[in-house]
Amino acid sequence: MADVNKRQKIDQDSGGEVGPLGSAEPEIYVQEAMPSYYAKLFPHQHMAKWLAYGNDGKHAQADSHFFNRREFCFTLDGDIFVRYQAFKDGTALQEAIQRRCPAKIDIGPVYTANPQDRHKFGASFQPTERELVFDIDLTDYDDVRTCGSGGHICGKCWPLMAVAVKIIDAGLRNDFGFKHILWVYSGRRGVHCWVCDPSARQLTDEQRAAVANWFALYKGHEEGKARIAFLGGGAMHPAVDRAVEVLHTAWVETILPAQRLLEDGPKCEALLRYLPEQTLVENIKKKWASRSVISRTDQDINLVRWGVLEAEVNSRLTEERSRSKGAGSYKVVGPLERCIPEIIIAHAYPRLDMEVSKKMNHLLKAPFCVHPKTGKVCVPLDPTRVDEFDPDDVPTVGSLLRELAAAKNGGGKGDSSAVVEADGGGRKAEPWRETKMANAVQIFERCLLDDLVITNRDELTERTRVAVAIGQLNLDF
Amino acid sequence: MQVLTSGKVGPAGFTPLAGAGAAAKASKDGDRMLTDLSMYTYPPSENITLEEFERLALARLSVLKDMEAFKLRHPNKSEKELMDKLKQLKQKHMKGLAGVSASNHEEEVRNDLISHYVLRLAYCRTAELRKWFLAQECDMFRLKFGTYNPAEHEAFLAAHAPQYRPVAEKELLEVMDDIVKVMKSNLETKETLMRAQQDKRFYKVSWTRVPELVAQRKVLLRGGWAYVSRDALAPLVVAEFRAGVSKGLSDMARRWRQMFPVEEEQRLQPLVASLTSRSLTADYSGVTTKYGDVSAANLHHLAVRHFPLCMSHLMGTLHSERHLRHGGRQQLGLFLKAIGLPMEEALLFWRSEFAPRTPSDQFDKQYAYNIRHNYGREGKRTDYTAHNCTTIVGFSGGLGDHHGCPYRRLDETSLRAALSRLHCDDGKVEEAVSKARDGHYQLACAAAFEGIHRVPELDVGISAPLQYYAESRRICTERDLTSAGTMAATGGAAEGTDIGEQPGGTAGAGGVGDQPGGRGIKRPASGLPGSLR
């Protein structure tokens, strides 16, 4: 009973915000479209296949109650939260979604028992499994973006998300060895990441916090500057090094010119504060004002100015180093060496929402949900093509329904039956395949599901092997 | 409705590339036993006699407790000295248990494992016990692990902690640069850097085992493996040991009921429960026979010279107030019984002490029965034993109560006064007071003992007032004999020249201690009475 009215932290921003022309719909329309969306567009089978993790088959080691122990949270129209929803299998989940048409679906952990029976177990009702998740939100970058703030997102600030995806994706794969990583557009102004490896799902809260901290460099603001958590004792951690390399490219290619951070204004002043010497700042400003710089037309002014800044810092470094036998006084050289990476990191390094990642029981919005304010679908992203993603061109529930109608009218292939058969019948009975949803689902398959299926099979085989071994050794646990 | 029991596969079982499954681990039995350091992951599985069960447990407990006392009294010993002490204690308590005098390595390992697990049983029930046991075991582990050389480390890890894999040379070449960068970025000193580069022994472990290092970016990560230097390894291994034992303890506590099937309730369970409160020192029942001269008359004399502070304090209060409350009467009364005061003497003593305030018939009515009960002559006729230090320290009392441990109860001024009344050496008084302040009451008592009797360090700690008394009497008797012996020797040959006869010194009580004066002079030394000594 308490669940219905339990409030989770809702993002409070100016309601009824309309994005760039046409790509967002008024809230009321979105909610009305949900029944059709869930009936014809939402990829129920794929979601069920994902979340079953191989336990939905007839394998002897398959845990037939696994799916039932997963918590779902529905947000119904009118901001009514209904937690601890659980379903026997994908079909039951689909029925419930189609019946209740939630405005938002959150996915929680897999518990020790069916969440609906939790009161019977008291303290022994605990989460046992849960994907490792990350949430990156452009609102956290408001201090370093000039194109907008709050729920705003556009092609100029999307590069910040893109570079975050690239860095974290590379880190998860190379440093931690994870393989099954799904990136999802969060529907308005950020991205979510779901790490679905079996080892990732079993991580404790402490280990999740460790991963989040591994990626955390930005530790809040201090005196108008971001505090970067690296000690910089003459070298940076190799992982940070690699990240800075990726950042530097993105910085120069897209972020800096797009955000116009070095054009005169408060952001530029803030940036200059990272330089350790006042004389350095003055020299740079003087050079910026010089004729040769102003008259340049071949390059964006921000890049020109940045080039000057880098050159000045480097020449100062050389000067300082040659002072005393090539090394220079560390107290002076250190900050000079660090300031450029610091600037780039402070302005562009991924800023994770730590709270989301740390706890096993944190609820996170499911992929393929529709954002109630914008109507945009939370589509999966391909991390190798993240630069090409256009947040303004994301399919919305409206655009998809229009596509469906067009396909139906256009005669097209197969019957125009609007009902999706429970187990997906023939491909022709899945109308969403005629729309942009197909692309999204394809990404979902390519980035996550295809490989996951193989891993699931391996898992089951391993379980069999262990069971046999235990049986052979006659150990009783 | 299905429930997953708590046997979930935790991350520890999930080192993704660990390779060794549960089946493989069990088969490593043989290798496991060969190193004398263990993580105690697998309990022993054999049958042993109840006697051995108890003996092994008490032996290990003695080692742990003596080690603790040693460390408390000598806080600045080096690792080597501590290790030597540990070896000595093990030699003293745990060798020769199975009757095998030769140091049989397998026996040692077996005894080590069994004794550890029995003590786990005994010390798992309350948080306080668990904390103590865990602390002692971890200290011991850390000490032993720290003294291993690289080759031994590797052997140990291979056998007991295979999750720490040595990094092959070829791989090390690839990652060395990055490792150095990691160390620099963590502001490691030049020495540490150089040591790591020269030592060239690195280990890799699944990152899930070192989350605290990952969180601070203190390690290099590649494909889920964290690379750690050999130096950095020790705290990790100790932490794992600690976690393992701690978990084992809480698991045991939770499953306590299942540990003991019904038939064991009368046999094993009381034994295990008693282990924690057992006095570890020898049984002092022989005291009464050795020093059988205790009577009401010389009690006060004995009290001043031989009683520990708790008892002499009670005696003093009894004498000045002519009364003691129940707690005090019990504590003192049982002690007096233990040192050999016969019941009739006891009745006499108590009656005379109480006499000015309590008329005789009232005494009979109110107190005599209790005294007789203590001696087992009334009611269910139990032979009550005297309390040991642990119990006495635990006594609580209100205003007007004088029982309990004075090192705990009395404030510093009274403590100092009481000790000086007993002619305790000043330096030792201070030591005792400071030990008492820190809560080490038994050590304080030991310090007082040393101060009163002017002996150098007491090797064994005080664990019961009876022990204090026995030791005290022993030392004094020895001293008497020594001085008597000297006197006898100088007192002329009249006493000892008979052939074959043992010249006794002054009538020493029984045949206790050395008899330096009793030299068997077989032949009368020609003319010399032996006075020239």
pLDDT digits (tens, 9 = 90+) for A135-151: 999 999 988 888 888 88
Q: What is the C-alpha to C-alpha distance for residues A167 and A165, in angstroms, rounded to an integer?
A: 6
Grade residue A429 by pLDDT with cuts at 50, 70 and 90.
low
Closest CA to B473 of B456, B488, B452, B447: B452
- The least confident of A50-59, A325-334, B181-190, B425-434 is A325-334
Cα dist from B383 to B334, B345, B374, whole Å: 10, 17, 7
Are B1 and A114 a contacting pair at CB < 8 A?
yes
| Residue B257 pLDDT greater than 80, yes or no | no
| Residue A233 pLDDT greater than 70, yes or no | no
| Residue A419 pLDDT greater than 90, yes or no | no
Q: Which residue has the higher pLDDT, A412 or B419?
A: B419
pLDDT given for residue A82 in this prediction: 94
pLDDT given for residue A416 in this prediction: 43
Q: Closest CB to A239: pick one of B21, B187, B221.
A: B221
pLDDT given for residue B277 in this prediction: 66
| Residue B13 pLDDT greater than 50, yes or no | no
- The arithmetic mean of pLDDT across residues B343-354, rounded, is 90
pLDDT given for residue B289 in this prediction: 63
Give A-chain residues touching B23 at CB under 8 angstroms: 466, 469-470, 472-473
pLDDT given for residue A3 in this prediction: 42
Are A176 and B207 a contacting pair at CB < 8 A?
yes
Give A-chain residues touching B185 at CB under 8 angstroms: 230-237, 240
A331, burial (CB in 10 Å: exposed 0-12, middle 13-18, buried 19+):
exposed
- The arithmetic mean of pLDDT across residues A165-189, rounded, is 95
Residue B325 CA from chain centroid, whole number: 32
Grade residue B278 by pLDDT with cuts at 50, 70 and 90.
low
- A135 assigned to active site: yes
Closest CA to A309 of A334, A284, A283: A284
Helices B230-254, B127-146: inter-axial angle, 10-degree rounding:
150
Q: What is the C-alpha to C-alpha distance for residues A44 and A98, in angstroms, rounded to an integer?
A: 10
Share of chain A above pLDDT 90, in %: 50
Give B-chain residues touching A69 at CB under 8 angstroms: 4
- The arithmetic mean of pLDDT across residues B191-203, rounded, is 80
Q: Dihedral (C-alpha) B507, B474, B55, B146: value to the nearest 10 degrees?
A: -140
Spot the catalytic one: A25, A137, A197, A430: A137
Q: Closest CB to A473: pick one of B4, B10, B23.
A: B23
Structure confidence by residue, pLDDT tens digits, B200-247: 788 899 999 899 899 988 899 999 999 988 888 888 888 889 999 999
pLDDT given for residue A23 in this prediction: 47
Q: What is the C-alpha to C-alpha distance for residues B375 and B337, in angstroms, rounded to an integer?
A: 7
Cβ–Cβ contact B10 with A under 8 A: yes
Closest CA to A355 of A347, A364, A346: A364
| Residue B51 pLDDT greater than 60, yes or no | yes
Give B-chain residues touching A176 at CB under 8 angstroms: 207, 221, 223-224
In chain A, the residue whose alpha carbon lies closest to the alpha carbon of B206 is A176
| Residue A422 pLDDT greater than 70, yes or no | no
Are B22 and A241 a contacting pair at CB < 8 A?
no
* CA-based nearest distance B306→chain A, Å: 56
Residues β-bridged to residue A226: A221
Give A-chain residues touching B212 at CB under 8 angstroms: 210
pLDDT given for residue B41 in this prediction: 82
Q: Which residue has the higher pLDDT, A354 or B234?
A: A354
Cβ–Cβ contact B43 with A under 8 A: no
Q: What is the C-alpha to C-alpha distance for residues A93 and A99, in angstroms, rounded to an integer?
A: 10
Count CB atoms within 10 A of the CB of residue B518: 19
Are B214 and A239 a contacting pair at CB < 8 A?
no
Structure confidence by residue, pLDDT tens digits, B283-295: 555 556 667 778 8
Are A113 and B211 a contacting pair at CB < 8 A?
no
* CA-based nearest distance B174→chain A, Å: 13
Share of chain B above pLDDT 90, in %: 11
pLDDT given for residue A26 in this prediction: 62
Are B215 and A203 a contacting pair at CB < 8 A?
no
For testing the chain A interface, which of B210, B221, B254, B258 should be mutated: the one with the most A CBs within 10 Å?
B221
Q: Closest CB to A238: pick one of B23, B182, B187.
A: B182
Cα dist from B406 to A358, B310, B420, B444, whole Å: 51, 6, 14, 10
Grade residue B487 by pLDDT with cuts at 50, 70 and 90.
low
Pinpoint the alpha helices (H) of A251-329. 256-259, 266-272, 278-289, 291-294, 301-323
Residues β-bridged to residue A352: A136
Residue A59 CA from chain centroid, whole number: 33
| Residue A423 pLDDT greater than 50, yes or no | no
- The arithmetic mean of pLDDT across residues A73-93, rounded, is 93
Q: A336 Cβ partners below 8 Å, 6+ apart?
A: A276, A277, A313, A316, A317, A320
| Residue B432 pLDDT greater than 80, yes or no | yes
For residue A372, what are its two tokens?
């109630």
- The least confident of A47-61, A301-315, B84-98, B368-382 is B84-98
Query: Could you identify the residue written with the tokens 């393989």?
Result: A179
pLDDT given for residue A205 in this prediction: 94
| Residue A25 pLDDT greater than 80, yes or no | no
| Residue B517 pLDDT greater than 70, yes or no | no
- A393 assigned to active site: no
- A143 assigned to active site: no
Cβ–Cβ contact B184 with A under 8 A: yes
Residue A347 CA from chain centroid, whole number: 18
| Residue B266 pLDDT greater than 80, yes or no | no
* CA-based nearest distance B11→chain A, Å: 6
Grade residue B69 by pLDDT with cuts at 50, 70 and 90.
confident
Cβ–Cβ contact B227 with A under 8 A: no
Residue A390 · residue A155 · CB < 8 Å: yes
Over B302-346, what HEC string results?
HHHHHCCHHHHHHHHHHHHHCCCCHHHHHHHHHHHHHHCCCHHHH
Residue A100 · residue A37 · CB < 8 Å: no
Q: Provide the mean pLDDT of chain B.
A: 76
Pinpoint the alpha helices (H) of A359-449. 397-409, 437-444
Q: Residue B407, SS3? A: helix
For residue B102, what are its two tokens?
């030769």
Residues β-bridged to residue B228: B203
- The arithmetic mean of pLDDT across residues A281-293, rounded, is 88
| Residue B406 pLDDT greater than 50, yes or no | yes
Cα dist from A384 to A170, A381, A447, whole Å: 10, 9, 10
Size of interface A-B (CB pairs under 8 A): 115
pLDDT given for residue B385 in this prediction: 78
Are A230 and B185 a contacting pair at CB < 8 A?
yes
Closest CA to A221 of A324, A101, A141: A141
Which stretches of A119-250 are assigned E, i.e. beta strand?
Answer: 127-129, 132-137, 181-185, 190-195, 218-222, 225-228
Cα dist from B22 to A26, A61, A475, B8, B240, whole Å: 58, 17, 11, 14, 18
Q: Which residue has the higher pLDDT, B13 or A445?
A: A445
Closest CA to B458 of B315, B281, B301, B331: B281
Helices B105-123, B79-94: inter-axial angle, 10-degree rounding:
90
* CA-based nearest distance A153→chain B, Å: 31
Q: Where does residue A73 fall: left (phi above 0), alpha (psi -120 to 50 degrees), or beta otherwise?
A: beta
Q: Residue A265, SS3? A: coil
Closest CA to B154 of B220, B217, B199, B214: B199
Q: Dihedral (C-alpha) B100, B106, B107, B108: value to the nearest 10 degrees?
A: 110
- The least confident of A358-372, B170-184, B314-328 is B170-184
Burial A262-272 (b: 16+ CB within 10 A, else e): beeeebbebbb
* CA-based nearest distance A470→chain B, Å: 7
* CA-based nearest distance B189→chain A, Å: 10
Structure confidence by residue, pLDDT tens digits, A27-69: 668 888 999 999 999 999 999 999 999 998 888 888 889 999 9
| Residue B375 pLDDT greater than 60, yes or no | yes
- The arithmetic mean of pLDDT across residues B388-412, rounded, is 87
Structure confidence by residue, pLDDT tens digits, A327-346: 556 777 778 888 888 889 98
Q: Which residue has the higher pLDDT, A279 or B149?
A: A279
| Residue A415 pLDDT greater than 60, yes or no | no
Q: Is the interface score ipTM higher than 0.90?
A: no
Are A113 and B1 a contacting pair at CB < 8 A?
yes
Q: What is the C-alpha to C-alpha distance for residues A15 and A18, in angstroms, rounded to an integer?
A: 9
Residues β-bridged to residue A418: none
